Structure 1
Amino acid sequence: MKHSVYFAYPGDLEAKTGGYGYDRKVISELRNLGWHVDLVPLGAGYPFPDHDTILRTEEMLGALPEKSLVLIDGLAYGALGDIAKRLAQRITFIALVHHPLASEGNITEQEQSTLLASERLALKHASTVFVTSSSTCQQLIENYDVPGAKIVVAKPGTEQNVQAERTSQVPIILSVGSIIPRKGYDVLVAALNKIKHLAWECRIVGSRTMDAHCDATLQQQIIENQLSDRVVLVGQIDDVRSEFTRSDIFALASRYEGYGMVFAEALSLGLPIVACDAGAVSEVVPADAGILVAPDDSDAFANALKRIVTDRELANGMAEASFRQSKLLPSWTDTGKLFSEVLEKAANERI
C-alpha cells in the first residue's frame, strides 16, 4: 500500500518554468505510482516572502498531522530556516533543491548571505535532499554542510523524440527561459550583434513578466543594436516544442543552471547547442554536441555561434551527437520511481 505525501510549493505551480515543470512531472509520476499527493500552496514572494506569507506558511505547515511526510520545493524551503528547525520535530521534511537560492542572479551581497544562512539551516533539518544534478549535490556538500549520504540526485526526465529535419534557408537560433538576469539574454544579444553580418534569425521564448526591468532593458538593447527585425521576444507560450522543432541551433547564455531542462529538450530534438559552462550545464551538454564558453563572455559566445552558423558540417555533426546523447538521459518514469523509492523508505522510517 502506498503512503501519502504533502507537496508544498511557492508561487504558481502552473508557471512555465523548468523548476515548476519538474514539480508537476514528479507529482504526476508519484500519483501514477499510487501515491496520494496533497498540494500545499505556500503563497507568492519566495525566496523573499513578506511577513504575512511567512506567518501563513508556518501556520499551514504546523497544522499538518504529526509525522506527515512533506516534499517541499527548495525555492520556499531555503527561505524557511527557522521554521524548518521548529517544525522538523513533528513532521518529516524532504527538500527538493533545483539550485541553491544564493546562486540566483541579481541579488545583493546581503540577500545572498541571508539566503545562504537560511538554506543551510533548513537543509540541516531535512531528512533527505533531492537535487537535480551532481553539480548541485557537490555544491550542497561543500558550501551548505549537507552530508552526501543525505542527498539524492534525481535528474529531470526527458521525453524521447524523433530528430527534427532542418530545412531553414536562414538558420533559426532558439533561446528558451524566463527573461531574468540569470538567463544571460544580455550576453546573447550582445553576441548576436557581433555576428549581424551573417544570416540568422533568433527567437527568445519565455515569460516576460517575472522581471519587468530585465525585460525592458533587453528590449532596449535589441532596439539600440538595430536587431528588432531579427530577434523576436515571443513571450510565454504553451507549445514550446513547436519552437524547438522549427529551429536549427539552441543558444542560452545562463550564468548558472542547477540542471537546465531546456538543454535536455534541445538534445532530444538533435539541436547543436551554444551555452555557458556554468553550474550543471556541462553535465547535460557533452563536448561533441555543442560549444560551452565562459559566462558573460559575449565575444566567445559570438564566435561559437559563428562557427555553427557558417559551418554546416560542424552543425550536422553536433546535431547527431546531441540526438545520441538524449538517448542516455533518464525518462520521467525513471525519475518518478526514484522519488517513490526514497519517499517509501522515509515513510517507513517515521512509523
Structure 2
Amino acid sequence: MSSTGLRSVHVVVPADIDDVAVPSGGNAYDRRVCLGLSATGCSVHEVAVAGGWPRPDTAARASLARTLSALPDGAVVLLDGLVACGVPDVVVPQARRLTLVVLVHLPLGDEVGAAPSAAAALAALERETLRAASAVVATSPWAARRLAAEHGLDPDRIHVATPGVDHAPLAPGTDGVSRLLCVGSVTPTKGQDLLVEALAAVADLPWSCDLVGPLRRDPAQVAAVRRTIERHGLGDRVRLTGPRTGTRLATSYAEADLLVLPSRVESYGMVVTEALARGIPVLAAAVGGVPETLGHDPDGAVPGILVPPDDVPALAAALRHWFGGPAPRDRLRRAARARRGTLDGWEVTSRCLAGVLEQLPGTPG
C-alpha cells in the first residue's frame, strides 16, 4: 500500500505525452504526476491513447471505449481532460462502475481560434463529462473557479493541484536586458503574433527574441507569425526556433534576460514558474491564472510586469519600460530571485493529487 493509502490508479493520457516534437505543459504535468504518484508507492498504470483529442475520429473513440471497458469494476481512473472532456458518450457510461477523476488543464471552450459555435459545442461536451465524474482536478485556482462558473459544478467537487517546478541555477542572462524569450506552442492562444507586433513598435531598442515552441499544432498561425516577422523586417532579430527540451531549453532560459508570455488565455502558465525558478523576471498578459502564478516575493514585490491581454500597445509600452533604465530591472530581478525560494516542487503536486484520489468514495484512506 502507498504511504498515502492509495493502492492503484489508472492514468489515461494522450499518446503524444513524450513526443519531443510537440512538448506541452499538459503533457509535462501528466508525466510528472505519473512519476510522482509512483514515488508515493502507488501502483500507476499508464494508458496512452492515440487520437486527435478533443475531437477524435471513430477509431480513436472505439479505442478509448475498449480501454475503459477493460478496467476492473471500482478502479480509480485519472483521465486527462483533453482525452475525456470531448467524448462524454464514451466516458459517462463508465462512471457507473469506475471512479473517474478528470484532470482539466484548460477548459475546452477557452482555446483561442475555434469558431464560437465550435467552442460552445466543446464546452457542452465538457460539461456533461465533468458532471458525471467523481471529482475534477484543476491546475490552478483560476481554472477551478472558471469550471465551477462555466459548468455549474459544486466547487467542493473541484480540487486544485498546481504544477510544480524543478529548481534550477540562477540564469546569468546575456547583458541583463536585451535577450527576450517566449516559450509556448505557436498558436493563437499563446499570442506570439501580438508579441511580434509589439516588438516591431520598439524596433529602435537593442533586443533579440527567441520564440521557442512547437510549430506543428497550428501551421496556419505559424505562417501568419512568419509573415508578420517578414513584414516588419525582423527576420534577423526574431527567431522561431521550434521546440526545445532538456539541455537546449535550459540553455535558452540561461541566456534569457526577460521571459515574455503574451497569451490570450492561460490556465496557469508553467513557463512563468520555470523562469522564476531561474530568477528571470516575467512580462506577461494578466490573463487567467497568470497573476496568481506570478505571485510576489516574501516582501510583497511582484517579480514581473503584467499588462492587459490582447493589447499590443500595452505590451510595447511594458517592453519600453523594461529598457528604460537599470533600476526597474534590478528591482524586478531581485523580486524574481526572492520568489524563486517560495516555489513548490513537483512532489507537492503529486502529494496533493494523491490526497484527492484517496479521499474518493470506495478508495482506501
Normalised to the residue count of structure 2, the TM-score between the two structures is 0.92
Is 1:224 the equivalent of 2:228? Answer: no
Question: 1:155 touches 1:330 (CA, 8 Å); kept in 2?
Answer: no
After TM superposition, the structure 1 stretch with the greater mean CA deviation from structure 2, 240-249 or 192-201, is: 240-249
User: How far 1:310 moved relative to its partner?
Assistant: 2.6
Deviations for 1:58-116, whole angstroms, at most 9, x for unmatched residues? Answer: 12111211111110101111112222221100111111111101000110112111111
Partner SS state of residue 45, structure 2: strand
Q: Distance in 2 between matches of 1:147 and 1:17?
A: 29
Structure 2 residue 299 is the aligned partner of structure 1 residue 292: no
Note closer, same or farther for the CA distance 1:350–1:333 as it changes in structure 2 (3 Å cut): closer
Tell me the C-alpha RMSD between the 2 structures: 1.6
Counterpart pick for 2:221 among 214, 217, 227? 214
Quote the Cα distance in structure 1 between the aligned partners of 2:177 and 2:106: 36
Letter in 2 for 1:328: T
Residue 265 (structure 1) aligned with residue 274 (structure 2): yes
| 3-state SS of 2:302 partner | helix
Give, in angstroms, the shift of residue 344 of structure 1: 2.2
Q: Which amino acid aligns with 1:326?
A: R
How far apart, CA to CA, are the structure 1 residues paired with 2:175 and 2:51?
42
Partner Cα separation in structure 1 for residue 174 and residue 333 of structure 2: 14
Of 309-318 and 201-210, the range deviating more from structure 2: 309-318
Counterparts of 1:229-244 in structure 2, within 5 Å, are 229-238=236-245, 239-244=248-253
Task: Please report how far the alpha carbon of residue 10 of structure 1 lies from its aligned counterpart in structure 2 after TM superposition.
Answer: 2.1
Instruction: Map 1:103-142; keep pairs closer than 5 Å.
Output: 103-142=110-149
* Equivalent in the alignment of 1:165: 172
Q: Following TM superposition, by how much is the alpha carbon of 1:160 offset from its aligned partner in structure 2, in angstroms?
A: 2.2
Task: Read off the aligned partner of 2:338 and give its amino acid letter.
Answer: R
Code of the residue aligned with 1:240 in structure 2: it is L
More moved, 324-333 vs 118-127: 324-333
1:327 corresponding residue in structure 2: 341
Shift of 1:147: 1.0
- Alpha-carbon distance, 1:297 to partner: 0.7
Deviations 1:295-338 (A, max 9, x none): 11111000101111232211111111122223222211111111
Shift of 1:349: 3.6
> Residues 30-55 of structure 1, C-alpha deviation per residue, up to 9 Å, x if partnerless?
11111111121221201111122112
Query: Is 1:156 aligned to residue 163 of structure 2?
Result: yes
Partner of 1:256: 265
Q: 1:105 to 1:334 in 2, by over 3 A?
A: same
Measured in 2, the distance between the counterparts of 1:312 and 1:161 equals 24
Matching residue within 9, 13, 26 for 2:13: 9
Give distance in 2, aligned partners of 1:283 and 1:333: 20
Task: Return 83-92 or 175-184, whichever deviates more.
Answer: 83-92
**Matching residue within 190, 200, 210 for 1:183:** 190
Give the superposition deviation at 1:167: 4.3
The Cα of 1:277 is off from its aligned counterpart by: 1.0
Q: Distance in 1 between matches of 2:302 and 2:355?
A: 34
Q: Which amino acid letter does the alignment assign opposite residue 10 of structure 2?
A: Y
Is residue 304 from structure 1 mapped to residue 308 from structure 2 by the alignment?
no
Instruction: Give the whole-Å Cα distance in 1 for the aligned partners of 2:15 and 2:230.
Output: 32
- The answer (yes or no) to whether the contact 2:173–2:179 under 8 Å persists in 1 is no
Give the share of equivalent positions with the same residue, in percent. 34
- Which one-letter code corresponds to 2:314 in the other structure? A
Matched-pair contact (CA < 8 Å) for 2:284–2:307: yes
Alignment gaps of 5+ in structure 2: 296-300
- For residue 78 of structure 1, the aligned residue among 78, 85, 95 is 85
Amino acid of the residue matched to residue 129 of structure 1?
V
